[in-house]
Structure 1
Amino acid sequence: MKVHWLPLLVIVGLALAIPAVSAKVVEEKDGYVVTTVDTTQRFATFSSLTSYSLTQGQTRWHTTYVPSGSTTFISDLNWGQPSNSLSLTFYTPDISILGPYYDAADGVIDGRIHLMVYRSTGLSSGTWSSKVYGSSIAGTQTYSYSASGY
């Protein structure tokens, strides 16, 4: 039996050229799919980051306007110190509550929660609220938070 190597090499080469998707589904609720942000997409997609601080048991709220026709909401909570624990919960205009999510939700324990919310029929437009809660903090923890719907 004669083996034709060229087609086999082409197939193997194509398989190696296709990037692996490392995003995983964290939660599915009310048509929303919350996933990790693919490591190739873990870049600053927001123009400015503001620094905030929290102490144990404290809550801070952030709002993001999501325009009509948007299908994707990306949020990035970054405090950089995994020894402290923060949680992140999303409240959508259509009364869905997504979360709470903790450091490990995005697949990496690194003091960061970087998630994407997707809904193929479109996100609920309007003001999304994000609740950042100091679950377990020694002293005061600074963090940055940014979010965008598109």
Structure 2
Amino acid sequence: MHYRTVIGIWILAAVCIVPIVTAFPSVNAFFVEPTRETAVRTGNVTVMTEDNLGSWEKTNVVYVGGDVFELPANAVSVSKSDGVVYVSMATTSDLNPVTFPLLSTSRGETGYAVSTVTVVKDGNPLLVNDKAFSVMPSTANYYADEVPAEKHHEWVDLDWRDETKDLSLTVYAPDATFGPFMDMADGKKDGRIFLDVSSQLNVTPGHWFFKIQNSNPDRTDYTLNTYSV
């Protein structure tokens, strides 16, 4: 084939293909949520609960283990005008991204309560997702999980096992924001923040997001697990 003919074909292809490609957004412009095909993980644990009279008793609780996953940097953006954080995600079945604004909402207006929970690890420890994360100095990482319907509690367990360091945890439910919480949220310095987000009705199902902020001068490793009860 004559070289001029070849060049002509390449020019024609470029003219036809480039407009088609530019008409679609780049897949890297938003986060494509991984397909969740893992089986639902359930377990039981004994917790200490306090009644209205101030007495403590052990209660056996059945829970569903979450599947927390880290959001890539291109999924998170911050509005320069009002500081609102936005997360864009798309499912594997629908590549049209959905944007979630992480708003600060008063807890008193949503019927939620946040407290710490004491876990008794004698024979029935909580399940862990076996995912290790780390956050660089003076930065924040964002995570997501999907909370099932008809649950009264959402437990969030951030554990970095180093009481000399400190991380902060902010929880974004679909209709409320909680935090930031520091290591001393439960009254003790132990390198762990374990929260019980509860509601007299059901906690709102759907996408929940979590922000881990590092205030340490070096990288900090940690685990992050959630449990729906």
Q: Fold-level match, TM-score > 0.5?
A: yes
TM-score, with length taken from structure 2: 0.50
1:19-58 alignment runs, 5 A limit: 20=56, 29=108, 30-40=110-120, 44-58=125-139
Preserved CA contact (<8 Å) 1:49 1:146: no
Residue number in structure 1 paired with 2:157: 76
TM-score, with length taken from structure 1: 0.75
CA distance in 2, matches of 1:110, 1:38: 13
Residue 44 of structure 1 deviates from its aligned partner by: 4.1
3-state secondary structure, aligned to 1:117: strand
Residue 48 of structure 1 deviates from its aligned partner by: 2.0
| RMSD, matched Cα | 2.4
Larger RCO: Structure 1 or Structure 2 (Cα < 8 Å, ≥ 6 residues apart)?
Answer: 1
Asked whether 1:63 is paired with 2:144, we answer yes
Q: 1:108 to 1:49 in 2, by over 3 A?
A: farther
Residue 103 of structure 1 deviates from its aligned partner by: 0.1
3-state secondary structure, aligned to 1:104: helix
Asked whether 1:144 is paired with 2:223, we answer yes
Preserved CA contact (<8 Å) 1:84 1:138: no
Determine what percentage of the aligned residue pairs are the same residue: 28
What one-letter code is carried by the residue in structure 2 that aligns with 1:91?
Answer: Y
Aligned length: 126
CA distance in 2, matches of 1:122, 1:100: 23
3-state secondary structure, aligned to 2:56: coil
Residue number in structure 2 paired with 1:5: none
Preserved CA contact (<8 Å) 2:128 2:225: no
Residue number in structure 1 paired with 2:208: 128
Residue 148 of structure 1 deviates from its aligned partner by: 2.1
